């Protein structure tokens, strides 16, 4: 497992770089949803549909959440881009031993105040318009072995409308049924949230 090695110098440099490429490629970035962070750690669950997804999570953190950033990446990807470990990325390998080690580490991350863990339970890319995501069991293990944290659902949606560059809208909604967490119920709730977010996005286009 490749563990994170946060480096303040790298974080400042890449934060400036991320802001630059986001400004260059997106007309605007908006956040929709009433979420007020506190000192509790956050488990952020976004949809996973593009190469940009990690950048979106980083931007959301700098705009609103202001936490110490952690993100789980496939070991094959992090091995090729080791510098992401200096920004908070850690690896997961597609083996039983590798997955258990990474999930144990993720659980420790989410137990610490003021941490943010970005986790993609769908495990693979889907279209942003796909409204029936299927989640793997890893998130259930993290939730069941953690407490005093917040689970934040996130839907990133991109549209061009009448402009040459797209807009990114980040929809947020907190999931509060943590005491009796059910993977099936969470998956249903997330897919409903995603569907509602897509409908809101469509209304923006019609205005």
pTM attached to this predicted model: 0.94
Percent of the chain predicted with pLDDT > 90: 71
Does residue 1 belong to any structural domain of this protein? no
Does residue 3 belong to any structural domain of this protein? no
pLDDT in tens, 1-42: 899 999 999 999 999 999 999 999 999 999 999 999 999 999
Count of domains for the chain: 1
Sheet strand arrangement including 89-92:
28-32, 167-175, 150-159, 42-46, 115-118, 68-74, 89-92
Does residue 2 belong to any structural domain of this protein? no
pLDDT band at 205 (very low <50, low <70, confident <90, very high): low
3-state SS, residue 118: strand
**Mean pLDDT for the chain overall:** 92
Pinpoint the alpha helices (H) of 44-161. 53-60, 75-80, 96-110, 138-144
Q: How far is CA 41 from CA 82, 112, 147, 173, in A?
A: 25, 6, 10, 15
Domain around 51: 8-206
pLDDT band at 207 (very low <50, low <70, confident <90, very high): low
């Amino acid at each position: 497992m490749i563990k994170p090695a946060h480096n303040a110098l790298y974080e400042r440099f890449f934060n400036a770089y991320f802001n630059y490429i986001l400004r260059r490629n997106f007309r605007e970035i908006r956040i929709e949803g009433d979420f007020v962070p506190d000192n509790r750690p956050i488990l952020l669950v976004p949809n996973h549909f593009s190469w940009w997804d990690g950048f979106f999570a980083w931007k959301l953190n700098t705009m609103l959440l202001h936490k110490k950033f952690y993100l789980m990446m496939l070991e094959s990807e992090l091995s090729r881009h080791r510098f992401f470990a200096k920004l908070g990325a850690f690896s997961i390998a597609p083996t039983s031993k590798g997955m258990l080690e990474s999930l144990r580490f993720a659980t420790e991350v989410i137990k610490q105040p003021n941490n943010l863990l970005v986790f993609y339970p769908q495990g693979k890319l889907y279209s942003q318009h796909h409204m029936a995501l299927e989640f793997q069991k890893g998130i259930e293990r993290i939730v069941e072995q953690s407490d005093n944290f917040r689970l934040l659902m996130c839907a990133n949606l991109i549209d061009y409308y009448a402009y040459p560059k797209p807009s990114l809208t980040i929809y947020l909604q907190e999931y509060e049924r943590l005491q009796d967490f059910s993977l099936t119920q969470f998956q249903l709730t997330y897919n409903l949230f995603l569907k509602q977010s897509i409908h809101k996005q469509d209304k923006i286009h019609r205005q």
